[in-house]
Every structure is written in structure tokens, then in C-alpha cells.
Homo-oligomer: A and B are copies of this chain.
Amino acid sequence: MADVARKAGVSQTTVSLVLNDPDSSGIPQATQDRILAAVQEVGYRPNRLARAMRLNRTETLGFVSENIATTPFATKMIRGAQDAAWEAGYLLLIFDTGAIDSPDHGERERLAVEQLLERHVDGILLASMYHRLFDPPPGLLEVPSALVDLRARDESITSVVPDEYQAAYDATSHLIEHGHTRIAHPTIDDVTAVAAKPRLDGYRTALIDAGIEPDPDYVITEPSHTAGGRLAAQRLLGLDEPPTAIFCFNDQSAMGVYQTTGRLGLRIPDELSVVGFDDQDLIAGELLPGLTTMALPHYEMGYWAVQHVLDESKPVDPVQHVLPCSLIERHSVAPPR
């Protein structure tokens, strides 16, 4: 820093003032410019550690999430969070708590938060790979925090989640607009999946709003993976009056529906329309024909959460925020024959 000061013809204190807080340093712009040019020339790298001690701010945020190896969702959330962090001059400390169904997952989550607090992060995001309710570790209350695709049972912490109801309403309406009235919705039988209920409500309400009586035979439960999708399609297409369209719980089960229709020699979309959910990379756009599906706002949720955590004028009380999903139209929907 002495070299920078000498080159710019100012004191080290002036250099320090400009580098640490250019806006309120009160140093004339020309001098600031001279100092920044000298910084470039000398190749001076600020010591953020000393700065953190002085400002009592490390300019890092913690990002804690459960097992991220099985979905590309985490990376989109991280991208959104990182872009917002980067714009504010922050970096993310990322912590993967492993498989959510492992017995020590809660303990790993608590430890992750402790480790981040020990490192004096300025805020923590805790993210889930699917929309769920949970009891947050107490450490989260010690710094500005936000939950991503996750809500605290007691609503003690700010959260941002997708609008599952709107998404299902829009997906079903899209099929109705194409002339379908026999629309099935295979859903899941899992009490921990917060998404299932509002999606079912959105699906039913869209039908009723269009004057279509919901048919209970068209709502069945199967696991939300490819094999579950195959089973769901077998059950639905075996009905006396089979549906002409299926609104799947996710793209994985839609892939299973594709496999069953392929085996049965039925063509999508001419003989069956399909809408997925998730806009999963490597699946939705790669199936043949391309799958029309609802995209979850993963990037947007990560971005919103960081902006919220860093917002100094945010409300004192926690906020439960909802972001819309968008329909991605590909080639799996056509009018019924």
C-alpha cells in the first residue's frame, strides 16, 4: 500500500480511505482516479481479512443445501444467488449437507450453520431441492437469513418458494385451451412434499373454472420417477375412457409416460398430450418430441434470497415470498383427436 501511496502522491491513509469506502471518503474524484490507477500499476491486492476485522463484515454469505448431486436445480439456485452476491461484492461459502433422508441430516445442517457463523458470514441462505417445510436450526436467527424452496414451520425466517398452485393452474389451462377435457394428473402420495396439495388444487380449479367436472379416476398417485410415470400411464391409458392429456407431477414421470406410450405404439402429441413439471435440463428439451413443461424459478429464488438478505431496509418481520413459474412450450401438446 506504501507503493500505491508513493505512486499516487498521497498518504497511505488516503489510499486506505478510497479503497475501503470510495463513496463517503470525501476525496476528490481526480485523486481517487489517480489512486486506482496506481493500484492497477502496482498490482496491489487489498487484504480482505484485515478489512473484515475492521468493518465487522466479511462480505461472504453462507449457502447451505441438502444433497445436490441428483438434480441440476441447486446449480441454478447457486447461479442466481451468486449473481446477486457478485453485484454486491460478496462471495458464497457453500455447504452441502448430504442426503436429506440420512439419519444425521438435521445434525449436519446444524453443524453447517455453526461453521458458517464461526466464519462470520454476513448472512445465510438455506436451500432445498424440493419445496418442503422444516424446523430451522436456531443459528439461522443470529444473522440475516433466507430459506429457498423451503419454509420454516413456524414462519420465523424469510422464505422464497415457487407458486405451485399458479403453475398447476396454468399447465392445466394450457391443455384446456388446446381443447382437452379428459385431463389426468398423476400426483404423489408423500406428506413431506408441500408441492402436491397446491398443484392438485390448481389442477382442479382450472378444470372447474373452465366448466369441466373433475373426474376422480384421473387423479392417481405413483412415485415421481420414471418407473412411476410408466405405471401411471399404464393405469390411466387402461381406463375405459382414457384421458387425452396427462399433466405429470414432474419431467421424470413424464419421461416414464413417454416410454409407456412408445411401447403401446401411441404417438405424442397426436394421440396423447403431455405436460411436465420442472423443465429439467437434459430431459425436457431432449425427449422426442420436446416436452412442454413448467419451469421452476430456481435462478430467481436464489437471486431474490441474496438481495433480501443484503437489503438493509428490509422489513424486521420475516417475509414468506412466492415467485411465479413459467410455461415452457415445446411439442408435446396438440388438440385431442
Residues of A within 8 A of B (CB): 45-50, 52-53, 58, 60, 63, 68-72, 74-76, 78-79, 82, 91-96, 114-120, 225-226, 230, 252, 255, 259, 262, 280-283, 286, 288
A281 touches B45 (CB 8 A): no
B48 touches A286 (CB 8 A): no
A118 touches B53 (CB 8 A): no
B283 touches A283 (CB 8 A): yes
B75 touches A69 (CB 8 A): yes
A63 to B63, CA, bound (A): 14
**Closest residue of B by beta carbon distance from A290:** B226
B96 touches A46 (CB 8 A): no
Ranked 7 nearest A-B pairs via Cβ: A94-B94, A226-B286, A68-B75, A48-B118, A259-B288, A69-B75, A48-B119
**Closest residue of B by beta carbon distance from A45:** B118
Looking at the assembled complex, report how far the CB atom of A68 sits from the nearest CB atom of chain B, in whole angstroms: 4
B69 touches A281 (CB 8 A): yes
Cβ 8 A contact of A76, one of B52, B60, B69? B69
B117 touches A45 (CB 8 A): yes
A120 touches B49 (CB 8 A): yes
B70 touches A281 (CB 8 A): yes
**Closest residue of B by beta carbon distance from A69:** B75
A173 to B267, CA, bound (A): 37
Q: A68-B78, A78-B68 are in contact. Are A252 and B286 (CB under 8 A)?
A: yes
| Listed A/B pairs (26) with beta-carbon separation below 8 Å | A45-B114, A46-B118, A47-B120, A48-B118, A48-B119, A48-B120, A49-B53, A49-B58, A49-B119, A69-B75, A69-B76, A70-B282, A74-B75, A75-B96, A78-B96, A79-B96, A82-B94, A82-B96, A91-B93, A91-B95, A91-B119, A92-B93, A92-B95, A93-B94, A252-B286, A280-B282
Chain B residues near A114 (CB, 8 Å)? 45
A119 to B85, CA, bound (A): 15
Chain B residues near A69 (CB, 8 Å)? 72, 75-76, 79, 281
Chain B residues near A255 (CB, 8 Å)? 286
Query: Contacts A75-B75, A93-B94 given; 13 further ones with Cβ under 8 A?
Result: A45-B117, A45-B118, A48-B118, A48-B119, A50-B53, A60-B119, A68-B79, A69-B281, A82-B94, A91-B119, A92-B93, A226-B288, A283-B283
A232 to B49, CA, bound (A): 54
Looking at the assembled complex, report how far the CB atom of A132 sits from the nearest CB atom of chain B, in whole angstroms: 19
A50 to B53, CA, bound (A): 8
Cβ 8 A contact of A49, one of B49, B75, B95, B252? B49
Chain B residues near A70 (CB, 8 Å)? 72, 281-282
**Closest residue of B by beta carbon distance from A230:** B288
Cβ 8 A contact of A72, one of B72, B92, B288? B72
A60 touches B93 (CB 8 A): yes
Chain B residues near A68 (CB, 8 Å)? 75, 78-79
Chain B residues near A92 (CB, 8 Å)? 93-95
